[in-house]
Amino acid sequence: MERGRRLSPAKEFFRNIGTVLPEIKKPESKVSLRNRLIWSLIILILYFIMGGIPLYGVSTSPNDPFASFRIIFASSTGTLLELGIGPIVTAGLIMQLLKGAEIIKFDFTDPEERAIFTAATKFLTIVVTIVQATALVMSNYLRFIEASISVVIITYLQLVIATIIVMLMDELIQKGWGIGSGISLFIAAGVAKTIFISLFSPVMIQFDIGAEPYGLIPLIFTKMFTGDLFRIFIREGNYPSILSFLMTLVTIFIILYAEGVRIELPIAHARYRGIRSVYPVKLLYVSNIPIILASTLIADLNILANVIWNALNPAGTDPLLNMIVYMETLEDGTQVIKGGILYYLIGPTSIFEAIDDPLRTMVFIASMTLLAVIFAYLWVEVGGLSSASVSQQLIDSGMQVPGFRRRAYSVNIILSKYIPSVTIIGGVFVGIIAAVSQILGVFGGGMGILLMIDILMNLYQVLLREQIEEYYPIVTKLIKV
């Protein structure tokens, strides 16, 4: 950054805040691939340990209202990972939207501005953590064992400190000590863990007909001896069954196929003739971003609705607030949503609920699809993925489309034929996948599967590049040239 150039008040504030926020330093020299894998494994183990430590001083409801969002936010109910990566993802998305909309302008080519952006994201993460923790307490989701100020303070400290630790673990991996991104690693590992548990968990679950193993494989062996084989094909509550297993396989195959569908536009280097390549416009152009944004919005509305109900309408006597959300309290004190707009936005969590209330099912699928399309369009516009932005990026990097003048306007005409269409189609695809997979009980959720596949494909590419750089440094230098 040029000396003497004044920063905006917002950037000045974030720069000052950055001096007191915890930070992970970059390694002085490049860490070997082996050591980076070890660091990534250590961080992953620590993350799982945190997910097994219950919050001190509170208890949670057995009916988790945020169960459908746990995969995306890599969180674990009633533990130090109660908030998971939710605050980090929310803060990061807000900062990206602010930057993309140029409400706050950042020049990422300037190291100081990159540091300010990082400090702003960290600060916003802590703010979001405090807001979400407050909402959880006010919504009666976290039940204090003892109603005292000290217990409330301890709860806040646990949630805030745990989130800061997760934030630093993610930063440690991103700054070169590990491989890829900590957030991506946590999500992928969480999805893989969920699939493994769904297949092999021997934990007994109580049903009306008696206790049964949770995992599909133990269930099959159990029913082979009792003769009640129908139970392995479908179970209430979307517990693992043959149906949900088959739907998981179908979802994986559909997503893998969709990941490979693309239109490849030929491009060539304007200065060096003979250097040609392609610019891929994938069917899933905006990947999983739309459904993450939609899920974040619905999760935040869920928290807000719980606050509104417990603070303003606990008896359900206000007809206007009942239109927003209506809850019923079960015998064990658990509150479940039974009506209102949010009832339809959250949607059914099993095929039996979907059949019992087809209107809710159709509204839920339509709402998720519509939200995914809206957020896909918004993200393309503010995230630098629009045809105009991509055209300018290609021209600035010295590329051009063969047979056309080297002007952003010409490239924009070509990209405009494809990018708006794949944006809408991709939004519809991920919206339907997310909604239908929730209803059918897909292991890890449809969006969890999509996230895991996307993350693993990117991780494979990173590992491949790292191996080439480590074992064939001369080839790497030639490629960079």
**Residue 3: pLDDT above 50?**
no
CATH (one of 1.10.1270.20, 1.10.3370.10, 3.30.56.10, 3.40.50.10490) for 10-179: 1.10.3370.10
Q: What CA dihedral angle connects 141, 142, 147 and 151, to 10 degrees?
A: -160
Q: In this prediction, what percent of the chain has a pLDDT beyond 70?
A: 89
pTM: 0.77
- The 3-state DSSP class for residue 207 equals strand
pLDDT at 370: 92
**Residue 471: pLDDT above 60?**
yes
204-207 and 210-213: which strand pairing? Answer: antiparallel
Contact 55, 78 (CB under 8 A): yes
CA distance 121 to 91: 6
Closest to 288 in 3D by CA, of 367, 208, 184, 209? 184
Parse the chain into domains and list their residue ranges: 10-179
Q: Average model confidence (pLDDT) for the chain?
A: 80
- Six-digit token string for 184: 């991506």
Contact 462, 179 (CB under 8 A): yes
pLDDT at 273: 62
* 3-state percent helix, strand, coil for the chain, nearest multiple of 5: 65, 10, 30
What are the tens digits of pLDDT across the range 223-247? 887 777 788 888 877 788 898 899 8
- Six-digit token string for 413: 């005409």
Quote the Cα angle for 164-192-257, to 5°: 115
User: Would you place residue 333 in the very low, low, confident or very high pLDDT band (cuts 50, 70, 90)?
Assistant: low
Tell me which long-range contacts 142-147 makes (C-beta under 8 A, separation of at least 24). 142/55, 142/58, 142/59, 142/60, 142/82, 143/58, 143/59, 143/60, 143/61, 143/333, 144/57, 144/58, 145/57, 145/58, 145/59, 146/57
Beta bridge partners, 54, equal 79
- Six-digit token string for 338: 């039974």
User: Would you place residue 481 in the very low, low, confident or very high pLDDT band (cuts 50, 70, 90)?
Assistant: very low
Contact 385, 379 (CB under 8 A): yes
CA distance 217 to 46: 28
- Which range has the top average pLDDT, 38-52, 103-117, 411-425? 38-52
Amino acid at 52: G
pLDDT at 243: 87
H or E stretch at 441: none
H or E stretch at 129: helix 111-138
